[in-house]
Structure formats: structure tokens, C-alpha cells
Structure 1
Amino acid sequence: MSRTPQEIFRSYVHAGTLSRNADALAESFTPDGVLEAPLLPAGGAFPSRMAGREEIRRAMAAYYQRQPKDGPVPNLEKTGYVLHTTADPDVFVAEIDTVFDGAGGGEDVTVSLVQIFRVRDGKIARLRDYFAPELLG
């Protein structure tokens, strides 16, 4: 069964950003899927490249364990995104503005990023996630 870009994107965001569930995130990918963050240096807090569902599972589980349990959570009412389909039916692009509520009365923080999805059989075959490295602290 084929899934729409909207379904694939929402499932990916729920598994990763919202629930930090490495198993569910890894299952969003094909067995040979690749998750890349090309703007990040190798060896940083967030892995810059993971190849294969099992490596994605292991690396993201380790990353999620290092994150503070009371860290910032996106405000879904303020956060927005636009999905763009392309001439290739297996490729879509997500433009995202994630808004985190200001902590301690501070101002909201908006993190803007672009993700390029290449899918196969309703799963992510390759995801290139473009965001600023300094956003990860």
C-alpha cells in the first residue's frame, strides 16, 4: 500500500521529534534507508549520516537518551510546514518552521529547516535534513 507524502511526513515527525521513539523512527525507513544531516559535522551530538534501518535505530536511540527529558517541546499550534511534491513522484520536500515556546517568559524560538524525502514502497529510502548545527547546542 502506498502512502501519501503527508502520511509519510506526519509519521516521521511523530516518531522522531514528538515521541523520540527510535524504533518507530527506524521503521519509517526502508531496510537500506539513509538519514543524512549534511550541514552537521561528523562526530557531533546528532549523527550526520546513518545508513540502514538498524544503524538509524541504534544511533537515534543513543541520541534520544542523551537529550534532557525536560527539554524544549515544539508548540504544534504555532509550528507550520509546507510539503512540495516534485516531478518525481518518489521525492517531496518539507519546509518547516518549528516553534518552541519561550522558556521562563522568554521569546519563542523558531527553528527553520528543509527536508528532502526520497521514498520507496511507502517508506523513506533517503532523507536529507538541512538545519543549522548550532541549533543542537
Structure 2
Amino acid sequence: MTDSHADIYGRYLHAGAISRDPDAFAELFTEDGVYEAPLLPEDGPLPRRLTGRAAIRGGIGAFQQGEPGEVDPSRSGFVLHGTADPDVFIAETDAVVGGAAIALVQIFRLREGRIASLRDYFTPALMDGTATPHR
């Protein structure tokens, strides 16, 4: 049985934002998976592109250690959108991270139940500390 988009996104959300477990996060990707955040500054705390599980594990792990912001699930939410391609879905997320409101749009491309490619578009202010505090 193939996992639903909601199942995959739920595991992604838990590994990346709740438990902040870079090993579990990386295991969601194919061996050659790609994580991209094209809106990030070139010299930001997270590389714009990470290719392969080892690079994803290391990059996300380093980012999480340097950015202690915790997600407030009670003030965060998401909507998933399917596409004509059953291996592609889009997540729209509004979250409160470290007390700041952020917005994200993520495009997931799957292969055999794992993330082959993830393009992560999020509030650049999250990286430079200018994100607006949530009230």
C-alpha cells in the first residue's frame, strides 16, 4: 500500500519541525534526493541546495543546531494540494516558529514513497531574524 500525501507530509513535519531529527528527516528522501530552498541568501545558515541523504542530514542537522526556533503546533496549520501527477503535491503552511509567524509553500516530488525532490519556499525573514512576532 502506498502512503498518502498526508502520511508523507506528517512524517516530514514531525521529523523536521517537531522532533527536529535530521536522521529521520533525511530518511524521508530517496538516496539521491534533493532539498532546495531557492529564496535563501547564498551565504545563509542553510545551503540553497542539498543533494543526497548525507548532505541533507548534515545540512538540516547543522541548521537545526544553529536555529533553536520551536514550532508552536497549536498556532500552525497546513493545507495539502494534489496535482495531476500523483507523485507531486504542494503544501501551504502557516506556522509560528520561535514566536514569529512564517509562511511556506513546498513542492514535493515523490519516487517509490520517498521524497525525490523538495522545493521549499519560505519567508526569508526567518533566516535573518526579521520575521514578525506572532500575536
1:136 pairs, out of 115, 119, 127, with 127
Provide structure 1 residue ranges, at least 5 long, that are not aligned to the other structure: 103-108
Amino acid at match of 2:20: R
Q: Please tell me whether the aligned partners of residues 88 and 108 of structure 2 are also in contact (alpha carbons under 8 angstroms).
A: yes
Q: For structure 2, which runs of at least 5 residues remain unmatched after alignment?
A: 129-135
Alignment match, 2:111: 120
Corresponding residue to 2:95 among 95, 98, 102: 98
Aligned to 1:47: 47
TM-superposed CA distance for 1:132, in Å, is 2.2
Q: 1:89 aligns with which of 86, 94, 98?
A: 86
Contact (CA 8 Å) 2:33, 2:52: kept in 1 or not?
A: yes
Q: TM (normalized to structure 1)?
A: 0.86
Distance of 1:34 and 1:58 partners within structure 2: 13
Deviations 1:64-114 (A, max 9, x none): 22223xxx4222122111000000000000000002475xxxxxx321110
1:133 aligned partner, one-letter code:
P
Cα separation, 2, equivalents of 1:101 and 1:66: 13
Aligned equivalents of 2:91 and 2:44: distance in 1? 24
CA contact (8 A) 2:33 2:53 kept: yes
Counterpart-to-counterpart distance in 1, 2:104 and 2:36: 13
How many Å separate the matches in 1 of 2:74 and 2:44?
30
* Percent of aligned positions that are identical: 52
Give the aligned length: 128
- Please identify the structure whose Cα radius of gyration is greater: 1
User: 2:133 corresponds to which residue?
Assistant: none
Cα RMSD of the aligned pairs, angstroms, is 1.5
Q: Provide TM-score, normalisation by structure 2.
A: 0.88
